[in-house]
């Protein structure tokens, strides 16, 4: 059946995953990755999910990254969670937070009202009582415009040395279109023609919230779109979690059996990974102006799941006078939609505390981080604005 489950055979009980897991440290309700992963999996498989506690796994994937034996721990948990929710029925809250393309499309035309409402205490209280979305949790602001609309209006430069297809993801489209604009301008500055196909959600939030059938539909639909875009050119993305979905998770965790997805998986790159590749070949413009700022950088868990090192650090190091601080705390605690949930908000903040403290200690002007939900959480936890690394590159280019 699933190759993920079979990796439980490699577990020698060494407990390394347990010592790294930031979530089991933060709550007794999560028994730890070894427990819910290779151990508990031996008790699953017949009718009825025995353990609800596995839902306290955030899916950050640190356990899988640190396992020296190759056990796909987070992936086992993810699959077990899908079975749990299939049996119990997915709560309305999880269905809503798992569909950013739907909430984005609904909120965008009424952005001022929606933003006002989502920041009003009575509304947040009601949201917490009715849906279980914690009233303190960091919700994004609707931009009131979409990146897609900008991209469709834009006429890029005529001459180009190459093409890239841009997978911007839902957050860029509805909440941070400026990040997408920066990505396009950066790439164009480096001589690329940027193709932006109309695109939907990758399915990751659905996967994390246990709705595998819907997640598979979204992933396949997106794969078909991207497969047709840019004639085989590299697909570049600024959302490390969504691009990890395309690169690996949809194939491995959702077990989507789809040729288009396999092709897309092969040609998808994180934007920093792509730019650093250019630099290594001497093809990246390095006409950076000095940026005298102190910027701590946090590599999100899903970024580390790419197995590409931390290319953002190397890129940002090219900017003169930028004081870059590498943060080594494990996780910000938000894990996509985990920290939004009433029963998990406080866990999420406890997990993030180490990172928040490191940020505060750095006395920063800004923080940099590749993932949007992590940026919102870091700002929520520290009050310091957080930007994608491309924002800093863009500024340093003086674009």
Partner 1 sequence: MAALQTDVLVIGGGSTGAGVARDAAMRGLGTVLVERRDLADGTTGRFHGLLHSGGRYVVKDPPAARECVPENAILRRIAADCIEDTGGLFVTTPPDDPAYAEQFLAGCRATGVPVEELPVGEALQREPRLNPRISRAFLVPDAAIDPWKTVWACARSAQAYGARILTYHRVVDLVRSGDRVVGARLANDLTGEEVGVEAAVVVNASGAWAGQIARMAGCDVEIQPGKGIMIAMNHRLVQTVINRCKMPADGDILVPIRTVSVIGTTDVRVPDPDEAPVTQGEVEQMLDEGEVLVPGFRRARALRVWAGVRPLFQETKPGLVSDTRDVSRSHTLLDHARRDGVEGLLTITGGKTTTFRLMAEVTVDAVCEHLGVKRPCRTHEESLPGSQDGGHYWLGARLASREPVPRSEQIVCECELITRRKLEEAIDRRRTVNLDDIRRTLRLGMGPCQGGFCIYRATGILHARHGVDAETANGSLLSFLQERWKGVHPILYGDQLRQAHLDDWIFQGVLNVRELAR
Nearest distance from residue 36's CB to partner 1, in Å? 8
Which residue from 13, 119, 129, 152 is in contact with partner 1, where contact means CB under 8 A? 13
Q: What are phi and psi of 194, to 5 degrees?
A: -110, 120
3-state secondary structure of 109: helix
CA distance 322 to 22: 30
3-state secondary structure of 126: helix
Mask of contacts with partner 1, 63-102, x by CB under 8 A?
------x---------------------------------
Contacts 24+ apart (CB under 8 A), 258-267: 258/219, 258/220, 258/223, 260/220, 260/223, 260/224, 260/227, 261/219, 261/220, 261/223, 261/227, 263/227, 264/223, 264/226, 264/227, 264/235, 267/232, 267/233, 267/234, 267/235
Choice between 59 and 140, CB closer to partner 1: 59
CA distance 192 to 185: 9
Could you say which residues in the range 326-355 bind partner 1, by CB under 8 A?
none
Choice between 10 and 323, CB closer to partner 1: 10
Q: Please name which of 79, 115, 313 lies closest in space to residue 211, comparing C-alpha atoms.
A: 79
Nearest distance from residue 25's CB to partner 1, in Å? 11
Nearest distance from residue 47's CB to partner 1, in Å? 8
Choice between 43 and 155, CB closer to partner 1: 43
Count of positions on this chain that bind partner 1 (CB under 8 A): 32
Q: Please name which of 300, 328, 298 lies closest in space to residue 313, comparing C-alpha atoms.
A: 298
Nearest distance from residue 283's CB to partner 1, in Å? 43
Nearest distance from residue 44's CB to partner 1, in Å? 7
Could you say which residues in the range 29-58 bind partner 1, by CB under 8 A?
29, 31-32, 34-35, 38-46, 48-53
CA distance 361 to 44: 45
* 14 is an interface residue for partner 1 by CB under 8 A: yes
Choice between 9 and 257, CB closer to partner 1: 9
Nearest distance from residue 195's CB to partner 1, in Å? 40
Q: Which residues bind partner 1 (CB under 8 A)?
A: 1, 5-6, 8-14, 28-29, 31-32, 34-35, 38-46, 48-53, 69
């Amino acid at each position: 059946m699933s190759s993920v489950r079979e990796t439980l055979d490699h577990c020698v009980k060494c407990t390394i995953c347990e010592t790294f897991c930031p979530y089991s440290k933060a709550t007794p309700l999560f028994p730890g990755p070894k427990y819910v992963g290779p151990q508990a999996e031996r008790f699953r498989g017949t009718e009825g999910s025995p353990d609800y506690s596995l839902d306290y796994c955030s899916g950050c994937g640190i356990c899988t990254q640190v396992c020296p034996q190759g056990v796909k721990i987070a992936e086992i948990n993810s699959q077990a969670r899908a079975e749990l929710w299939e049996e119990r029925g997915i709560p309305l809250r999880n269905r809503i937070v798992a569909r950013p393309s739907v909430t984005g499309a609904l909120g965008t035309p009424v952005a001022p009202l929606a933003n006002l409402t989502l920041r009003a205490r009575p509304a947040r209280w009601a949201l917490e009582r009715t849906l279980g979305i914690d009233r303190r949790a960091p919700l994004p602001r609707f931009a009131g415009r979409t990146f897609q609309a900008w991209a469709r209006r834009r006429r890029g430069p005529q001459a180009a040395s190459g093409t890239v297809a841009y997978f911007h993801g839902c957050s860029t489209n509805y909440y941070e279109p400026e990040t997408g604009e920066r990505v396009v301008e950066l790439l164009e500055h480096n001589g690329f023609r940027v193709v932006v196909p109309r695109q939907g959600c990758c399915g990751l939030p659905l996967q994390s919230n246990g709705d595998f059938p819907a997640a598979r539909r979204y992933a396949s639909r997106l794969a078909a779109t991207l497969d047709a875009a840019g004639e085989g050119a590299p697909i570049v993305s600024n959302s490390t979690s969504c691009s990890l979905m395309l690169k690996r998770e949809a194939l491995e965790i959702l077990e989507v059996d789809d040729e288009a997805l396999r092709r897309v998986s092969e040609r998808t790159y994180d934007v920093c990974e792509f730019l650093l590749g250019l630099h290594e070949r001497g093809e990246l413009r390095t006409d950076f102006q000095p940026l005298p700022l102190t910027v701590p950088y946090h590599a999100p868990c899903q970024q580390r799941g790419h197995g590409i090192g931390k290319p953002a650090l190397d890129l940002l190091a090219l900017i003169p006078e930028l004081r870059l601080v590498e943060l080594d705390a494990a996780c910000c605690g938000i894990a996509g939609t985990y920290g939004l949930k009433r029963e998990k908000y406080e866990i999420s903040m406890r997990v993030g505390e180490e990172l928040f403290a490191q940020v505060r200690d750095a006395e920063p002007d800004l923080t940099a981080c590749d993932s949007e939900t992590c940026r919102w959480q870091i700002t929520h936890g520290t009050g310091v604005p957080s930007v994608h690394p491309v924002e800093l590159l863009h500024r340093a280019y003086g674009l």
